[in-house]
Structure formats: structure tokens, C-alpha cells
Amino acid sequence: MKTSTLKKLIGTTVASLSLISMSSFPAMAGQLHNEWNYGIDSFSDGSGGESYNIRGIALKETTDSILVALTGGMPIAGVTNSGAMDKNIGWGDLFLNFTNKNFTTASSQRSLFGVRFAGTNDSKVTTTGLYGNVQGASVTGVNHGYSSLQQYYNSGFDKANTQGTDLATKAAAYTYFGQGTILNVIDSGANQLGSIQSLTSTELKNQGLDFGFFNATGSQTLGFSFKKGDLGLADGNYDYMASIFVECGNDGVALKGGVSVPEPGSLAGLALVGLTLLGGSRLYKSH
């Protein structure tokens, strides 16, 4: 093999690799930094004070896992509140919507994924973990909370980014969630698909998390991860909307993003080209 021919083949392979790399990532929204996708929430929309204030959400995709981080004033175990039925108000569950439909429609069709990560909250599923076949339920009524999203906005929280930078206006939030009941936990009947691994703020920082880049770091930063394969998605690219409210509905945040499931055929093709190049190079050297 001539050197010029080998260079051309390498160039073609690099171009193909670049094309596959570019096409393997889904469309993204949010704000990208250090391989994390961020949605930054208003810092002054936590009705009831900083303990109920969410400042941001971030997701990171690795080859086999999805990492989720949250920051604000709410600890993982919640805060004491005499107005709640169990005297505690905490995090709701995280929802992931891959349907390209609004939340209300996807929920009514049980098309959501959900993650219960706070073991002390009022979720309708019994254990923490990743769930499919998910419909949302509301626990705001037993947590001294808002009866509807409209009531929340009408209580002085019609501000920019009240549901984060990806649902930045009241109109956008109403379009996605509707104006009615805030669905903030996984309803019973969901199927558990896998477990989650809790992540400390230090572990998240070691993974490159940096809410400080957006001046959004709260007093509490927490997170978890789950296996991407547990979602059961076929090969391809998938856009999602991630969203979460605290149990009383006093604050929420949403984030648009995407995940990719590699196509084995494409990877195998690249491997074959690589082997061909290696073999050709050795053959050229032997002569």
C-alpha cells in the first residue's frame, strides 16, 4: 500500500468517525458545561424560603449511565413542617419524558419514566429506584402545598425561569404541565426497572459537576445515577424533558436534553476499518 493511499484511507476514516460522532448525539437544550447539561432555576421562587428553593438541575450521560444532580436548599431527607401530614416536606420524584408530548398527556398514557431517589418522601411506589410505565400523582395537598400550578404562579411567582431556563415563562410551563394539579410523585402501578446509586456532592464534583459556573450552588447539592440500559431504549437518539417539584409544589425545575444509545453496527464498522488499516500498514512494512 502506498503511503499516499494509506493517508487517504485514514482521512476518509477520520471523516467517517467525525460524522458518526456528530450524528450519535441527540439534540440538546439546557446549558452545556464540563459534559453536564444544566437547567438553572430562578433563585427567588421558592415559596416558603430557601429550604423550598431549587436552584438548578444537571444531567450527564456516560457510556452506560445517566447521572442526575440537584442543588438548592432542600436536603435529601426534607425539612420539618408542622403543616404536612407527616410533619415533613421533601423532594418529589424526578420524571423523564421521552415522548415529545406534554407532561399531562404522557402521564395520562403512563408513558413517563420516574426516579424515586428520596426514601423518606410520599411517593406512591415503595422503594427508591428507576420506574417505567409511570403516571404522575400529586401529594401537595398533604404537604401544605399549592392546589394547582396556576395558584402557585398567582401567588407572586410569575417570574423568569420559575421552572428553569428551558421552561422560562408561565406560558411555557402551562403548555407543558397544564395549569391544574401539580403531579410531583410516581403513582402506584409503575414498574421498577432498576436500582439507583446515590451520589454525594463530592462524588458529583469529581464527575465534573459545577453549578458554581452559573452562580447557582445551593446549600444542598445531591444526586444519583442509574444504568442507561435499564430504560430499555432501542439503539438511537432520544430527546427528553426532565422535571421535578418539591412535595408541596413550592418550586420546580425542568431540563431539556438527550441521550444516545450506540448502534453496534456503526461501532463494528469502525472496528473493521481500523483492523483493515492496521493490516495494510503491517503489509506495507513487510515489503
Domain ranges of the chain: 26-261
pLDDT at 46: 87
- What value does the mean pLDDT of the chain take? 86
Q: Residues 43-56: what's their mean pLDDT?
A: 93
Q: For position 199, what pLDDT does the model report?
A: 98
Q: How far, CA to CA in Å, does 71 sit from each of 50, 95, 267?
A: 11, 17, 37
Determine what percent of the chain is predicted with pLDDT higher than 90. Answer: 78
Q: Which of these ranges, 11-20, 163-172, 216-225, 251-260, has the smallest mean pLDDT?
A: 11-20
Residue 254 pLDDT level (bands cut at 50, 70, 90): very high
Q: Which amino acid is at 240?
A: Y
Identify the pLDDT of residue 262. 74
pLDDT (0 to 100) of residue 29? 65
Dihedral in degrees, nearest 10, Cα atoms 24, 30, 34, 36: -70
pLDDT attached to residue 3:
43
259, pLDDT greater than 90 = yes
**What pLDDT is stored for residue 106 in this prediction?**
98
pLDDT (average), residues 41-69: 95
CA distances from 266 to 17, 236, 242, 260, 261 (A): 9, 11, 29, 13, 12
**pLDDT (tens digit, 9 = 90+) per residue, 6-41?**
344 334 433 443 333 333 344 456 899 999 999 999
pLDDT of residue 270: 39
> For 177-225, how does the pLDDT look when each residue is reduced to its tens digit (9 = 90+)?
999 999 999 999 999 999 999 999 999 999 999 999 999 999 999 999 9
- Percent residues over pLDDT 70 in the chain: 81
- In angstroms, the Cα distances linking 228 to 67, 95, 215, 235, 258 are 10, 15, 29, 12, 12
CB-based contact 287:23 (threshold 8 Å)? no
Closest Cα to residue 261, out of 111, 64, 21?
Answer: 64
Phi-psi region of 94 (alpha: psi -120 to 50; beta: other; left: phi over 0): beta
Q: How many residues does the chain have?
A: 287
Render pLDDT for 67-124 as a digit per residue (tens, 0 to 9): 999 999 999 999 999 999 999 999 999 999 999 999 999 999 999 999 999 999 999 9
How far is 66 from 259, CA to CA, in rounded Å? Answer: 9
Report, as an integer, the average pLDDT of 228-233: 96
